[in-house]
Copies of this chain bind each other. A is one copy, B any other.
Amino acid sequence: MTRKGILFIISGPSGVGKGTIKDAVLAKITDMEVSISATTREPRSGETDGRDYFFVDEDQFRQLIDNDELLEWANVYNNMYGTPRQFVEEKLTRGQDVILEIDIQGAFQVKARKPEGAFIFIAPPSMEELSLRLATRGKDTPQSIKLRLAACKWEMEQVRHYDYMVLNHELKTAVDTVCAIITAERCKVKNFNLERDMIDSSFNQGPNGSST
């Protein structure tokens, strides 16, 4: 039995640990593609075009936007970042799953274009815990932490637009839970090519086995 590729969106408030979770999930689930962003910023040492990012100039980026070739995009400190639609669509068409880690605003843009994706919201165990994490990771000033927590209240309310909510209370449990969601989504009947495959009743290859 063959099936359609599934787009998994890992999203949530900043500082919630979605990047760490995505990396740990990818270490456990090997048959999963990662979406590669396009960006106008300069490559840093060690970064390779087509592996870390698709490096483009501003004109090229504008054209991607104008041609609706980005699933989402954002301007971050005067650099443009976006998710090329073609890269994702090609994988999905081949039956390969794609994972995309993204903030909440970006997830909304993706949902408008790919509502059939599996939208996973990573939630902090509590506001206090998130506050502590932001303070200890040392990337943020006290002022920016205050702003982030205020934003977090709004962000938490956006969970209602997602399919799944996973609490990042303990990393291993959160990673196992996201892996379980991936396994379950891979068993969804709506993702199988039933019409095409069932005619000869050759249901010899299936969803299981390729999970964690």
Binding site for B on A (CB under 8 A): 1, 120-121, 123-127, 153, 156-157, 159-160, 162-167, 169-170, 173-174, 176-177, 179-181, 183-185, 187-189, 192, 194, 198, 201, 203-204, 206-209, 211
Contact = CB atoms under 8 A, between A and B. Distances in A.
Copy total for this chain: 2
Contacts of A209: 169-170, 173
Contacts of A167: 203, 206-208
A171 B58 CA distance: 54
B165 A198 contact: no
7 contacts: A125-B206, A159-B189, A165-B192, A169-B209, A174-B208, A176-B211, A181-B187
Contact of A127 (B121, B166, B201, B207): B201
A69 to B, nearest CB: 30
A187 B165 contact: yes
Contacts of A183: 176-177, 180-181, 184
B207 A189 contact: no
Given A181-B187, A187-B177, A165 B126 contact: no
A156 B177 CA distance: 30
A165 to B, nearest CB: 5
Contacts of A124: 203
A156 B120 CA distance: 31
Nearest to A167: B206
A168 B135 CA distance: 48
Given A127-B201, A181-B187, A206 B160 contact: no
A86 to B, nearest CB: 29
Contacts of A1: 165
B194 A166 contact: no
Given A127-B201, A163-B189, A207 B156 contact: no
A157 B207 contact: no
